Structure 1
Amino acid sequence: MQHRPHTDERLGQRGPQNLVRYFMLLMSVVYVGLGLYLWLAPQTALTLGNTPRQLLAAVFVFYGIIRFVRTYQQHFKRNPNDAR
């Protein structure tokens, strides 16, 4: 029997799923940006001390990087086992 492509395959995945994956990438960049802002901002920008602020910044950057890698692997990396 011949393989018939699904609607998403024919349209090139232009549905809401496409919007969600780009939003997830955007949010990972926002987390990294927030972490960099916390790390580089003057101490008067927040009422936190220097050490807790840098620790929080490192957590945001680390989480953003992990989120970016997972989103890329899940939504953008082609599986070599998929036949097209």
Structure 2
Amino acid sequence: MLNIPTTEERLGKSPQRLVRYFVLTMALVYLGLGVWLWVAADRPTVPGLIELGPTARRVLGAVFMLYGLIRFIRGYHTYFRKKATLHDNE
């Protein structure tokens, strides 16, 4: 069998490095969308888009903000928090 190094071995990088930043970016996108929906609730809608009333926009904005916050916290804990070792407890 050929002894060809993998891409990760050649580059010295893990694909998880990109995944963790993508997860946080998407969380910020959800937060931004939620804030935008909340702030734009009293403005008139653009014709041709989904027309929602102000209450529906605020509810949907709150849902997006909550979801984005949950995704951000879970992504941070999964990818950026230091792992506890046995030596930390001593």
Deviation of 1:79 (Å): 1.2
TM-score by length of structure 2 reads 0.72
C-alpha root-mean-square deviation of aligned residues, in Å? Answer: 2.2
* One-letter amino acid matched to 1:69: I
Aligned counterpart, 2:39: 40
Deviation of 1:59 (Å): 0.2
Question: For residues 20 and 82 of structure 1, what CA distance do their matches in structure 2 show?
Answer: 28
Question: For residues 25 and 51 of structure 1, what CA distance do their matches in structure 2 show?
Answer: 28
* One-letter amino acid matched to 1:25: L
> Structure 1 residues 41-50 or 17-26, which shifts more?
41-50
Q: How many residues get paired?
A: 73
> 1:11-39: CA deviations, max 9, x gaps?
5xx32110001000000000000001111
Larger-Rg structure: 2
Question: For residues 74 and 32 of structure 1, what CA distance do their matches in structure 2 show?
Answer: 19
Question: For residues 86 and 39 of structure 2, what CA distance do their matches in structure 1 show?
Answer: 44
Q: Compared with structure 1, are the counterparts of its residues 57 and 16 closer, same or farther at alpha carbon in structure 2 (3 Å cutoff)?
A: same
Deviation of 1:44 (Å): 2.0
Deviation of 1:40 (Å): 1.1
The question of 1:62 aligning with 2:63 is answered: no
Stretches of structure 1 that go unaligned for 5 or more consecutive residues are 1-6
Correspondence 1:1-84 to 2 at 5 A? 11=12, 14-41=13-40, 42-45=43-46, 47-81=51-85
Runs of 4 or more, structure 1, over 6 Å off, are none
Identity value in percent: 47
